[in-house]
């Protein structure tokens, strides 16, 4: 099933505990200005809900971004506040088989410009 919209209220209000096998966060808005960082999806409230909804024992949170600072801050937050998420596990970049073989527009643009994509997976224990 796929949803379009703000993930935070969806997770908080609609998704039952231990009911999701994987959460994929690909290229979230980095909210560049310091005063807007509070709007970033990779925050303590959202990650609390991710841990709550993930089925225990081996199910995953996937997080990819093209913003190193956002990646580093998110990984640090997970390390400090969510010991039940083991990682980050590296995710190999697979070669694109054709022009549209990318998860998102942002991945396509970034990779076609030979820029870095920071990928990680975390396993819920």
The residues near 29 (Cβ < 8 Å, ≥ 6 apart) are 39, 40, 41
Give catalytic residue positions: 29
pLDDT by 10-residue block (mean), the chain, 125 residues: 79 91 92 92 95 87 95 97 94 84 82 89 92
The SS3 assignment for 39 reads helix
State the DSSP H helix or E strand holding residue 88, giving kind and residue range, or none if neither. strand 85-89
How far is 116 from 125, CA to CA, in rounded Å?
29
pLDDT value for 1: 63
């Amino acid at each position: 099933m796929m949803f379009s919209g703000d993930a935070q209220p969806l997770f908080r209000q609609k998704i039952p505990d231990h009911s999701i096998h994987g959460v994929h966060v690909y290229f979230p808005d980095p909210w560049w200005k310091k005063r807007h960082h509070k709007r970033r999806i990779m925050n303590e409230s959202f990650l609390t809900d991710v841990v709550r909804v993930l089925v225990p024992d081996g199910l995953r949170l996937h997080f990819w971004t093209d913003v190193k600072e956002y990646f580093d801050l998110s990984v640090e937050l997970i390390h400090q506040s969510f010991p039940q998420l083991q990682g980050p596990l590296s995710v190999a970049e697979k070669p694109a088989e054709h022009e549209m073989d990318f998860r998102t527009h942002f991945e396509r643009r970034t990779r076609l410009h030979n820029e870095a994509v920071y990928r990680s997976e975390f396993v819920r224990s």
